Structure 1
Amino acid sequence: MNTNLPSVPDRIMSRARATGRGGVFTPTDFLDVAARAAVDQALSRLVKSGNLRRLARGLYDFPKVHPKLGPLSPAPDDVAAALARETGSQVQIDGARAANALGLTTQVPAKNSYLTNGPARRVVLGKRVVDLRHASPKHLIAPGSAVGTVIQALRHVGPLRAAEVVQVAASRLSANDKRTLASAACRAPAWMQSTLASIADTTSGDLDG
């Protein structure tokens, strides 16, 4: 019997270090390392030893550490992505955050809200709240992509500001994004389809987005 094989905690920490500080995980991410019971036990040990941090039930991170402030909160997008991986679901930032991300609004949403085709869940991280809300497929077109962000932003600001969305998205989306948008536009509400087609048809100022 080879007694030199790395332990389950060591293998989990090796994976966490490879991901880098700021990485967020659930036990599901390590089921290729060991059985669920062994993974849970290893994560518990790593939390007790200070190597990992428990954020919430079944949610852990390898935190970034500020020299004065200490461990920092993880990025909300990373938390949402980890929760989605756990359930094999998809997530998309909601309309308010999408509009802010594209510079269409200056108001920063108080909550970090996401739409998902998986179960709803709310995680409180100090003063931050990561809120996953279950949504129907029509609200999850190209989830997690630049195209999905544009569609959500347009849905949020409405038809009266469609021209602004065209202008911003035309310069933000890459040529490949625009091809994706062209094929996805038919799944959007009828009032959005002509605007999305206009964005997909633009050819100048393409930037990877």
Structure 2
Amino acid sequence: MGLNVFWDNSNIWLVGRGVCEQREPGDEADFRIHFAKLFDFAVDNRQVDFAYLGGSIPPNNDNLWNRFNDLGVAVEKQERGVATGGEVAVDEAIQLAMANRILDCDEPSRMVLLTGDGNGYDEGKGFIKQLERAVKHGWEVEVISWEHGCNRHLRKFAQEKGIYRPLEPVYENVSFINNKRWAK
């Protein structure tokens, strides 16, 4: 059974920066995710059938998006809102990709979700709802998130219906401080 990986880049980076603030105070501005090492951690030597990343621009960092493409990850970039500068529809694009994958696969598989975002839980939508749909259709589910910022409902769902893997134990392996500390 191959993996279907879905990655909420903004959530992983933003919450990781908060973890950096606790572990390496003063280095938050230079905090970076080592994409290949985080992808390797998520995949854990298993076959990947599909991988999708949702993120936003600006910054228009072609090197960043190209690194994901080099890893075999389909990248969908969304423009930020003009008025607020905030993300618009990134989570929804990832959730749509998750739903489409559930519908398009002939056989259930394993869905791996990298996020801590539980928004929409109270309204019956969002990432948790997509994971519920996956389980209902016979899929196995796995959530990878920073414990520091993982929605409690998302973590509980993953622990009860699948697997929950926190990132704090591999912080130094999947992150680095630009011009100061490399990922191990």
In the superposition, the TM-score normalised over structure 2's length comes to 0.29
**Higher Cα Rg: structure 1 or 2?**
1
Higher relative contact order (CA 8 A, sep 6+): 2
Q: Could you say which structure has the higher strand fraction?
A: 2
